[in-house]
Structure 1
Amino acid sequence: MSRPEHVAPPEIYYDESESRKYSQNSRIIDIQSQMAERAYELLSLSDDKEGLLILDIGCGSGISGDVLSDHGHQWIGCDISKDMLNVSVEREVVGDVMLRDMGQGFPFRAGSFDAAISISAIQWLCNAEKSHHNPRKRLLVFFQSLFQILTRGGKAVLQFYPESSAQIEMITAAALRCGFTGGLLVDYPNSSKAKKYFLVLFTGSTGSQSMPKAKGVDSNSIEDGGQTQVKYLVNS
């Protein structure tokens, strides 16, 4: 199947029909929920911290937001597809949602959010959907804005589907340039189906933040117990 990014811009691809099919497909719901749970796990939030404000980037119909609600947190979601957001309203999600192109940054005050997650979204920034789009500039705007609206010591976990190593490099380089520390974590690196990429970002130094371990790595055969599947943005 063609990657959605190759078919049409997200606001066009996820029209009313596609948005409803996406949000009613039990397999898709299960996969998105699992990835959102994993993203939440990678945030490594303290168990005693409930009611945090979390940004859900590319929230779609609110499937990932449901996971945040289940963990007792408040969330605001943004998405470029108004039809996806319409479905989220029909589903009566607990969080607030807004129409927004993440490549234009976020209209929030500095330090507004304790954390952020994104599921299956940021790879769209690597495409020039319009004649005036420059992927590298849009990535910089995205990460600059995200860094600004997170609290100091805040975290972001962004799951995405890279098309190539060049895309991975472009995305991670933009995050580093904007002040983030952290790294790229790959779960189940030897599985073609289960392999998942997560960009785990910190607004503070890596000295006070430790990268989590990847899943699906045999710690008995790898000296650092899975850390070889983590590509650090900076040396800790």
Structure 2
Amino acid sequence: MSRPEDTLPPDLFYNDTEARKYTSSSRIKTIQATMTHRALALLALPTPSLILDIGCGSALSGDILTAVPPDEGGPHTWVGLDISASMLAQALERDAEGDMLLADIGQGVPFRAGTFDAAISISAIQWLCNAESSDVSPEGRLKRFFDGLYASLRRGGKAVCQFYPKNAVQRAMISNAAIKAGFGAGILEDDPGTKNVKVYLVLSVGGGDVTGAVSGMEDVEVQDTRRRERKRGKEGGEKKGSKGWIVRKKAQMEAKGKVVKADSKYTGRRRKTVF
């Protein structure tokens, strides 16, 4: 069975017919609600917040954000972005309470720096991995999106993006793009190893250990992807230019099929100044 993002761009795939079908499906509503509640649990917002809903569609997630009771930190105010005019039309027909904009997140996130307290995205960002033309690359679209998202969140803000990666390469492409934008990042999996696996990218502005957000949860696997190279260096006590650092770099180059010089007793040794 082909994936929707492999057939057409999202603004064409979600036409009037598909938008109505998506919005009226009880199965879709149940799945969407479950994943939105999970995202809110990971955000752990203690007070009413301004949330950016990325790929808001017909506002199924937005309805849940608005309905969060005061004893759980709500209700939240939200702003939605979506590339499908038909999906946004469905949201308007349903009298959704958020403000919504027609926008392509692959071109960036069009808000002033520090606007939002948090962000969520349900089943949307995998669409960024598909390029509709030869002059548009998935890497470029992901970079513009994560750079814009990072800027739009306040210092200390968090984002949770649920997505369906096609494979390990696509999953790594997405998480690496978030890390390059400056986020502290971790990947959480619900129901790992099953066909119902759901992947959540948990992001923090200004770094910080995001794995604390999922501690104690059951049926979850966490892959901490935050600043991996820096963490490796600290754990090994390796200073740039040291013997350990050089040996590790050479091993990485060999793994890529490159030819490197053999190690010797002079590897990493500082040379004396010659006059």
Same fold by TM-score greater than 0.5: yes
Q: Provide the TM-score with structure 2 as the length reference.
A: 0.77
5 Å-filtered alignment, 1:36-185, equals 36-46=36-46, 49-50=47-48, 52-71=49-68, 72-185=75-188
Alpha-carbon RMSD: 1.7
Which residues of 2 match residues 198-217 of structure 1 at below 5 A? 198-207=200-209, 210-213=212-215, 215-217=217-219
Q: What per-residue deviation string (whole Å, max 9, x for no partner) do you get for residues 179-212 of structure 1?
A: 000211111113222x110000000222587341
Which whole-Å CA distance do the structure 1 matches of 2:9 and 2:25 have between them? 21
Q: Distance in 1 between matches of 2:161 and 2:209?
A: 21
Q: TM-score, normalised by structure 1?
A: 0.90
Are the counterparts in 2 of residues 56 and 65 from structure 1 also a CA contact under 8 Å?
yes
The one-letter code matched in structure 1 to 2:101 is M
Q: Partner of 2:224 in structure 1?
A: 231
Change (3 A) 1:21 1:214: farther
**Which stretch shows the higher mean deviation, 204-213 or 115-124?**
204-213
The structural deviation recorded for 1:149 is: 0.5
CA contact (8 A) 1:85 1:97 kept: yes
Give yes or no for contact 1:119–1:159 (8 Å, CA) kept in 2: yes
In structure 2, the residue matched to 1:192 is 195
Flag as ranges the 4+ runs of structure 1 deviating above 6 A.
none
Structure 2 CA distance for aligned equivalents of residues 207 and 119 of structure 1: 22
Q: 2: distance between equivalents of 1:201 and 1:214?
A: 18
After superposition, the C-alpha distances for 1:109-151 in whole angstroms (9 at most, x for unaligned) are 1000000000000000001123321110110110000000000
Shift in Å at residue 163 of structure 1?
0.2
Q: Quick check: 2:175–2:225 contact (8 Å CA) kept in 1?
A: no
What is the CA distance between 1:67 and its match in structure 2?
Answer: 1.1
Q: Which runs of 5+ in 1 are unaligned?
A: 218-225
1:220 aligned partner: none
CA distance in 2, matches of 1:209, 1:150: 19
Aligned position for 1:19: 19
The whole-number CA distance in structure 1 between the counterparts of 2:222 and 2:210 is: 20
> Identity of paired residues, percent?
49
8 Å contact from structure 2 (residues 43, 213) kept in 1: no
Do the aligned residues in 2 keep the contact of 1:79 with 1:99 (CA within 8 Å)?
yes
Distance 2:216 2:98 in 1: 29
CA contact (8 A) 1:186 1:214 kept: no
**What is the CA–CA distance in structure 1 between the aligned matches of 2:172 and 2:139, rounded to whole Å?**
11
Instruction: Note the alpha carbon deviations across 1:31-58, whole angstroms, 9 max, x for none.
Output: 1111111111111112xx12x1100000
Segments of 5+ residues of structure 2 without an aligned counterpart are 69-74, 232-275
Structure with max Cα Rg: 2
Q: Could you say which structure has the greater relative contact order, defined with CA pairs below 8 angstroms and 6 or more residues apart? A: 1
